[in-house]
Amino acid sequence: MAQPSADVQVSVIIPVGVRHAEIAALHTDYRQGLDKTGLVYEFIYVLDGVFPDASAQLEQLLGSGERIKVVYLTRWFGESTALMAGFEHAAGAIILTLPAYFQIAAGEIGKLIGALTSADVVISRRWPRAGGLLERVRRAAFHGLVSWMTGLKLHDLGCSARAMKRQVLEELSLYGDQHRLLPALADRQGFRILEIDVKQSTQDRFEGVYPTREYAHRLLDVFAVFFLVRFTKKPLRFFGMVGAFTLASGTILVTYLVIDRLVFQQSLADRPALLLSSLLVVLGLQLFALGLLGELIIFTHARGMKDYQVDRVIEFPSTQKQP
């Protein structure tokens, strides 16, 4: 991992994937926005896969004297991995992630960075936001689910323009598609999250229509982060709760069948409910045991695990002048 450098204040990480704009025009737009901040910055482009057109444009930028870094991944790994790969080469105390396509107005970049004075992670919300009624309903449903599961009320997790302090990515490890839910993971670690309104780029023409498989993947990502945020350190609460409900359901059904057999002389041999109740009892016990096993693992490794961040420490002076 690159060490922080006094010569660079802001590291801009741009993962280049299947969806990307003309890199030269995008780079010029971002550079103009960063120049207004008066900070020293660096650009780090991460090619998440093989994209000859984007690669050629980046090489042209290098040839023209632009001070950029280009990280080539061997194949497609996903945006989260690309961000972490870019961070490995970042030297700035502030990390700014931007998409490889137009999303926010470049003039709003300074607003993102400036908001770090009161937060550790600053999230963009494109407002006013373009899109039809169906898109607004879909967006509201997704963010409502995320809010219910994580406790964070955010409105534009699909926006990749984010500013954060270097310590955030030093403490987090992203993989898969977790970059969309980075605020929830950072909040779990005790970092302060702030969402601010920014102007949407006039060149952001994406209609927001995804294939059904993409929606399924995002839903699974939400459930995965929900488990990581709520039950990583308390697995028995999750597995114990589900196991107890399953065990209770099986026990009630078994009790009913036994009473039905003893009191009303009903046969049990040809009743599928007997098999179902037995399976529920066994499954409930297994889930409960799995939760206990998880608690044992957490207890064994608890000393080496850290799930908090220290804001500041104030000490009483150790030495005082003698009268």
Cβ atoms 179, 81 nearer than 8 A: no
- pLDDT for residue 32 is more than 80: yes
Non-local CB neighbours of 176 within 8 Å, separated by 6+ positions: 78, 80, 81, 221, 224
- pLDDT-derived band at 166 (thresholds 50, 70, 90) equals very high
Whether residue 273 is predicted with pLDDT greater than 60 in this model: the reply is: yes
Which is more confidently placed, 270 or 29?
29
Report the alpha-carbon distance of residue 56 to residue 7 in Å, rounded: 28
Least confident of 105-109, 125-129, 141-145, 261-265: 261-265
Please state, in angstroms and rounded to a whole number, the distance separating the CA atoms of residues 198 and 94.
19
Q: Which residue has the tokens 């107005």?
A: 105
